[in-house]
C-alpha cells in the first residue's frame, strides 16, 4: 500500500520550544519520522514523504509546501487503489499497530489522535479527501459519510499518541522502542512525577 | 473472570474542580463507573466494585477505605484463578476493548494509561501484585518480571484514556458512547479549539 507521510521541515514541533532548541526540534522530528518510516515498511507499506522542503531520506520524497490538507489531497486525487496517510510524529508506533491499520476492513479507516486529530487514515474509496483542521476526526467521519464510504475506527494508543507537547515526551520514554526514545534519553530527559500524570525533566 | 473496579466515593475527580462542582464531579464519576461496569459485563466479565464508602450499585460492592494498592492486593491475595482490575474512569471504553484485554495471552496483561498509569490489568500469575504509585506501568512491568510472570501489553486508546483533567472531557465528547458522554453533553460542554489540540468549553 502507498503510504503518504507528511513532514514539516521548516519549523517542526513548535510546542516543544520550552524544552528543545530549534536544532533539537529538527533532530527529534527526524528521529520520529525515521521510526514511522521503518514501522510502515516493517508492516508491508511503501512510505512516501511529502516534505515542505527538500530533505535527505531513504524513502521517496516529494516537496510540497502547500497547506497539509491540500498537499495530501493532491496525492489522493491521482492515486490508484487504496492509499494511507500517516503522520510523522508517532514516536511510539510499532509495526503491529500499522499492520492493524492496513488489515482492518472499511472504505475509510481512521486512527484518532489525542485531542481530536486523525493520526492515520486508509482510504479505499475514490472520493474520500482529508481535512486536517481542528477536530479532524469529526470532519473525517463526516466526509466519509458524505461520499458514502463506510468507516472503521482503529483503537490504538500507539497510533493515537503523536508527540507535540513536553508531557508527550513521557509517553516516548515509557513506550518508545526506536530511534526517537534513544534520542530523548541521550538528551538527558527522564520521567518526573507532576501531580497525577508523569511528565519529564532534564 | 472476576473484575475488580476500585472507586473513590469521597472526593472523586479533583482535577476537574475548575470545570465541575463537587456534586457534578460525583455524578460524572458515577456515570463513568456505570459505563465501565456495563462494558465489563458485555465483555463477559463479572465486575465487583471496591468502594471507599458504601454506595448503591447493581454490581456487588465491598467497602475498603485503605489505599488503592492495599485494597486491590487484599483481593489478589485470596482470589482463585485469573482476576482483572479495571479503573472506573474509562469514559470511552467499549466492550470490544475489554474483550481484547480478557482474550490476550500472558501471565500478566497490562493496559497502559496515559501519563504512566495502568488502567487495566489481568493477573493470571498467583504472585503478581499491584502498585499504583506514580509511573505504575513501569512498576507493574518490574513486579511481573520479579515474580517470573510473562507480560503482554494491550495497545488500546480506549483503555488508555482515563478521564482526569478538563482536556480529557474532549475525548469523552469525541469518542464516548455511553452514559458519561450523555452527561457531559447535557451539562453544556462542547468542543473548543485551543491551539493544536481540542479542549472543551461550557
A135–B198 C-beta distance less than 8 A: yes
Q: Where are the alpha helices (DSSP H) in A15-118?
A: 22-42, 68-78, 95-103
Backbone angles phi, psi at B31, to 5 degrees: -60, -45
CB half-sphere exposure, B131, CA atoms < 13 A: 12
Torsion sign (Cα): A68, A71, A77, A81:
negative
Contact B108, B144 (CB under 8 A): yes
Band (pLDDT 50/70/90 cuts) for residue A196 is: low
pLDDT tens per residue, range B63-101: 999 999 999 999 999 999 999 999 999 999 999 999 999
pLDDT tens per residue, range B10-25: 999 999 999 999 999 9
Chain B residues whose beta carbon lies within 8 Å of the beta carbon of residue A191: 116, 135, 138
Contact B157, B165 (CB under 8 A): no
Interface test with B, best of A173, A177, A197 (most B CBs within 10 A): A197
Provide the ipTM: 0.95
> CB-CB: which of A94, A115, A198 is closest to B135?
A198
Measured CA to CA, the distance from residue A202 to residue A192 in angstroms comes to 9
Backbone angles phi, psi at B82, to 5 degrees: -65, 150
C-alpha cell at position A163: 508527540
pLDDT tens per residue, range B116-165: 999 999 999 999 999 998 899 999 999 999 999 999 999 999 999 999 99
> What's the pLDDT score for residue A70?
98
What distance in Å separates residue B81's CA from the closest CA in chain A? 28
> CB-CB: which of A114, A117, A174 is closest to B137?
A174
What distance in Å separates residue A76's CA from the closest CA in chain B? 24
B191–A135 C-beta distance less than 8 A: yes
pTM of the model: 0.96
- B104, B92, B72: which is closest to B2 by C-alpha? B72
- B126, B129, B117, B123: which is closest to B88 by C-alpha? B117
> CB-CB: which of B138, B157, B196 is closest to A174?
B138
> What's the pLDDT score for residue A57?
94
Measured CA to CA, the distance from residue B156 to residue B93 in angstroms comes to 9
Amino acid at each position: 500500500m502507498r503510504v503518504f507521510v507528511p513532514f514539516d521541515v521548516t519549523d517542526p514541533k513548535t510546542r516543544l520550544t520550552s524544552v528543545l532548541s530549534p536544532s533539537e526540534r529538527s533532530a527529534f522530528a527526524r528521529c520520529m519520522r525515521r521510526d514511522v518510516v521503518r514501522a510502515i515498511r516493517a508492516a508491508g507499506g511503501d512510505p512516501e514523504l511529502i516534505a515542505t522542503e527538500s530533505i535527505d531520506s531513504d524513502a521517496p520524497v516529494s516537496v510540497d509546501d502547500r497547506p497539509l490538507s491540500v498537499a495530501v489531497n493532491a496525492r489522493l486525487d491521482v492515486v490508484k487503489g487504496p492509499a494511507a496517510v500517516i503522520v510523522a510524529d508517532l514516536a511510539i508506533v510499532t509495526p503491529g499497530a500499522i499492520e492493524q491499520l492496513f488489515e482492518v476492513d472499511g472504505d475509510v479507516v481512521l486512527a484518532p489522535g489525542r485531542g481530536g486529530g486523525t493520526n492515520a487514515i486508509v482510504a479505499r474509496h475514490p472520493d474520500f479527501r482529508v481535512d486536517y483542521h481542528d477536530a479532524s476526526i469529526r470532519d473525517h467521519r463526516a466526509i466519509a459519510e458524505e461520499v458514502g464510504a463506510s468507516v472503521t475506527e482503529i483503537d490504538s494508543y500507539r497510533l493515537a499518541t503523536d508527540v507535540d507537547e513536553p508531557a508527550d515526551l513521557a509517553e516516548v520514554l515509557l513506550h518508545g522502542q526506536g530511534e526517537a526514545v534513544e534520542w530523548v534519553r541521550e538528551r538527558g530527559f527522564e520521567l518526573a512525577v507532576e501531580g497525577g500524570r508523569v511528565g519529564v525533566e532534564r
